[in-house]
Structure 1
Amino acid sequence: MNRTSLRRALVPTVAAIAMLSVTACGAANEDDDDKGGDSSGLSGTLNGGGASSQEAAQTAWRAGFQSLQGSGVTVNYDPTGSSGGREGFLDGGFAFAGTDSYLSDEEVAAAQETCGTGAIEVPAYVSPIAIMYNLEGVDSLKLSPQVIADIFNGKVTKWNDSAITELNDGVDLPDANINAVHRSDGSGTTGNFTNYLTNVVPENWPHGEVEDWPIKHGEGANGTSGVVAAVTDNPNSIGYADASQAGDLGHVEVQVGEGFVGPSAEAASKIVEVSTRVAGRAEADMAVDLDYQTTDDTAYPIVLVSYLVACQQYADQQTADLVKGYLSYVVGPEGQAAAADNAGSAPLSTTLADEALQHIEAISAK
């Protein structure tokens, strides 16, 4: 099944998304007019974990939220990877999880047992996945979906292979082996990347959509930071990672239709405009499937929606209030601006953010 995440990501409208006070998130007696006012009233420690691609955004979110709350609130986020985040949430170790792939049907059922009343699954932000490279003297690199798949599948192994040079007229590509770097841990970024390949060029990528790398070809590295480091430290390397963490490495321009487009928040937002909600899910589950078949060469096709997963109900009021407060901050305009500034993500559209806030507001204690 498709578990890739995404829907819409347009310019946020702060006036249209009323900033939810973290007090309002934790107390039923706040009026709607006060959403965005005083943020006091919460205390305790909130533990979450998951997608390492969220790490930059989570750092900014935690700092902003804790600043509003003062010394009485601590938020921890363990960037253990999307798979680890979902497992930790379903095992009860995390009060919330970050994931770059939406819950499978089996995980939805497991969440029902963990939470008692099921889970909510809301988008945190939209982000392009960059195919990054380290080639001395090469400032621009264009690749087709077929060639990308063949590189990571071990079919194209030299940088001066004709399949690459034909797409890059005038670019001096070295007679060197390609070091293709992939995630060695279970990863939602891998899931989104391989889902793109599966949908666009299944004949070149026969392994399907997977979060665990399916073949022995290439170099494995743990976490987003590990992949970025491996490509940075090893000339003639190529890898994939959340664009916000790809640093100064070169970014591949991917062929879409008759043109080529590089990763950006604006280009990532284009493809999600045609995405549809996953069928058969509960109202509080906002997971979507991407339509990768666009020929619009202003749309960057390799994208993810990073999700936040939480229970609809918690065993105690303190945890419910903390989860509600933190997630409201993340999805609200202040959190979305922080993610855009610190993680290079595309903010949620007004419509999507408003819906996510409604589901978060419904979180309660048993």
Structure 2
Amino acid sequence: MNFKRFGRPAAIAFVAVIALSSCAANEGDTASTGDGAESTLTGTLNAGGASSQGAAQEAWAAAFQIANPDVTINYDPSGSGAGREAFIAGGSGFAGSDSYLSEEELAGEFGACAPDTLAVDLPVYISPIAVIFNVEGVDELNLDADTLASIFNGTITNWNDAAIVALNPDATLPDLAIAAVHRSDDSGTTENFTDYLAQASTTWGEEASDTFPFGGEGAQGTSGVVSAVTNGVGTIGYADASQVNDLSTVALKVGDEFVAYTPEAAAEVVAGSPLVEGRAADDLALDLNRQTTNPEEYPLVLVSYAIVCNEYADAEQGELVNAYVTYMASEAGQAVAEESAGIAPLSAELSENVASILATVK
């Protein structure tokens, strides 16, 4: 990814951020080794949003609070849409979101931010979205984008449909109705899932959306979808890969091969994706390449963001957000999330770019 939108001011900011990044890394080490480094941070930071970040946020908050014993971190995995709404209304210090701020949201005001300032999208979490299924007697399943789209828009309704059979000649597919499960809440995971189907298939017929556009069975949050697929019959759904447990997952057709999700393949597609055009210079929203034909890349991926003010109305809140999100995006923070949630760590370049922006947040 080319990050040349920053000129000399950002280079200066990056020099300043080296100390912050080092501090954040030390915090992670302190949390794990009990070295006892002193922290002067105090206060409570309330945030919420993407349920995909749930496991990572638990680990991040625990490590950060050990290193900063006078700080309390509260993260509510209420869903990306609810998280953005709360942040926009001024009810939280930052939002976790699997989709970046829309142009309409950017045109409005942000309750926690200083007057006449903006919020920005900073990547902190990269993960594959797994297509999960529960069909007795079927442990492996290959699907292309057109067939997957047709399942979720209701065009394909049975597991022994000819299109599925053609992609899985060695599987014994039952004469059984498909129960497709989607998120019932406004969800960045849904936005990423529908964005993949809109770009990679010819059969979806809708634009990307946080709200699932068709019928079927709805479930609240990532955990709700996983539970519905686990406990149902002939079920299929989509969920952040960190929470799929022992469910079977689909290999997606990429080019001429079928590709199973891995953190490494998710990171590869992110590395090859440009920034969204027309955004502010300190906004790192990514335009993910869903149409890749490179089998080293898994295109059904989400980048989850920390949405923060570039200047806070409450300077103490800004200090807390700066320190915590800097830690989340640091090498130490990414290692904690990789261990706890199986994420693909941010590349060194992307981590540095996030840090250079956070150095200017106040």
Normalising by structure 1, what TM-score?
0.88
Query: What 5-or-longer segments of structure 2 have no aligned partner?
Result: 4-17, 28-34
SS in 2 for 1:21: helix
Report 1:1-366 matches (<5 A).
Answer: 19-21=21-23, 38=37, 40-70=39-69, 72-111=70-109, 115=113, 116=115, 117-201=117-201, 203-216=202-215, 218-364=216-362
* Separation in structure 2 between the aligned mates of residue 170 and residue 325 of structure 1, nearest angstrom: 53
Give the CA deviation at 1:95.
0.7
- In structure 1, what residue type is equivalent to 2:146? Q
Instruction: Go from structure 1 to structure 2 and tell me whether the alpha carbon gap of 1:191 and 1:206 turns closer, same or farther (over 3 Å shift).
Output: same
Give the CA deviation at 1:39.
5.2
Contact 1:120 1:285 in 2 (8 A): yes
* Separation in structure 1 between the aligned mates of residue 22 and residue 36 of structure 2, nearest angstrom: 8
* Separation in structure 1 between the aligned mates of residue 25 and residue 337 of structure 2, nearest angstrom: 22
Instruction: Go from structure 1 to structure 2 and tell me whether the alpha carbon gap of 1:7 and 1:229 turns closer, same or farther (over 3 Å shift).
Output: farther
* Separation in structure 2 between the aligned mates of residue 101 and residue 212 of structure 1, nearest angstrom: 12
Contact 2:91 2:112 in 1 (8 A): no
Contact 1:23 1:40 in 2 (8 A): no
Instruction: Go from structure 1 to structure 2 and tell me whether the alpha carbon gap of 1:172 and 1:161 turns closer, same or farther (over 3 Å shift).
Output: same
User: Deviation string for 1:252-277 (max 9, x for gaps)?
Assistant: 00001110001110111121222111
Contact 2:25 2:333 in 1 (8 A): no
* Separation in structure 1 between the aligned mates of residue 344 and residue 25 of structure 2, nearest angstrom: 27
Contact 1:271 1:300 in 2 (8 A): yes
Give the CA deviation at 1:334.
1.2
SS in 2 for 1:293: coil
Normalising by structure 2, what TM-score?
0.89
User: Deviation string for 1:61-99 (max 9, x for gaps)?
Assistant: 1111011111x1110011111111111100000110000
Contact 2:184 2:218 in 1 (8 A): yes
* Separation in structure 2 between the aligned mates of residue 281 and residue 207 of structure 1, nearest angstrom: 24
Instruction: Go from structure 1 to structure 2 and tell me whether the alpha carbon gap of 1:262 and 1:213 turns closer, same or farther (over 3 Å shift).
Output: same
Contact 2:266 2:344 in 1 (8 A): yes
* Separation in structure 2 between the aligned mates of residue 171 and residue 253 of structure 1, nearest angstrom: 14
Contact 2:112 2:314 in 1 (8 A): no
Aligned position for 1:12:
none
Give the CA deviation at 1:338.
1.1
- In structure 2, what residue type is equivalent to 1:205? W
* Separation in structure 2 between the aligned mates of residue 329 and residue 336 of structure 1, nearest angstrom: 8
SS in 1 for 2:233: coil
Instruction: Go from structure 1 to structure 2 and tell me whether the alpha carbon gap of 1:262 and 1:17 turns closer, same or farther (over 3 Å shift).
Output: farther
- In structure 2, what residue type is equivalent to 1:196? Y
SS in 1 for 2:191: helix
* Separation in structure 1 between the aligned mates of residue 321 and residue 38 of structure 2, nearest angstrom: 14
* Separation in structure 1 between the aligned mates of residue 159 and residue 234 of structure 2, nearest angstrom: 8
* Separation in structure 1 between the aligned mates of residue 211 and residue 84 of structure 2, nearest angstrom: 14
- In structure 2, what residue type is equivalent to 1:86? R
The percentage of counterpart residues that share the same residue type is 49
* Separation in structure 1 between the aligned mates of residue 2 and residue 335 of structure 2, nearest angstrom: 18
Give the CA deviation at 1:19.
3.7
- Is 61-70 or 112-121 further displaced after alignment? 112-121
- In structure 1, what residue type is equivalent to 2:85? E
Alpha-carbon RMSD: 2.2
Give the CA deviation at 1:120.
2.6
Instruction: Go from structure 1 to structure 2 and tell me whether the alpha carbon gap of 1:237 and 1:146 turns closer, same or farther (over 3 Å shift).
Output: same
Give the CA deviation at 1:109.
2.1
SS in 1 for 2:337: helix
Contact 2:20 2:359 in 1 (8 A): no
- In structure 1, what residue type is equivalent to 2:315? Q
* Separation in structure 2 between the aligned mates of residue 329 and residue 231 of structure 1, nearest angstrom: 34
Moved over 6 A (4+): none
Contact 2:89 2:111 in 1 (8 A): no
- In structure 2, what residue type is equivalent to 1:222? Q
* Separation in structure 2 between the aligned mates of residue 276 and residue 22 of structure 1, nearest angstrom: 27
* Separation in structure 2 between the aligned mates of residue 48 and residue 363 of structure 1, nearest angstrom: 17
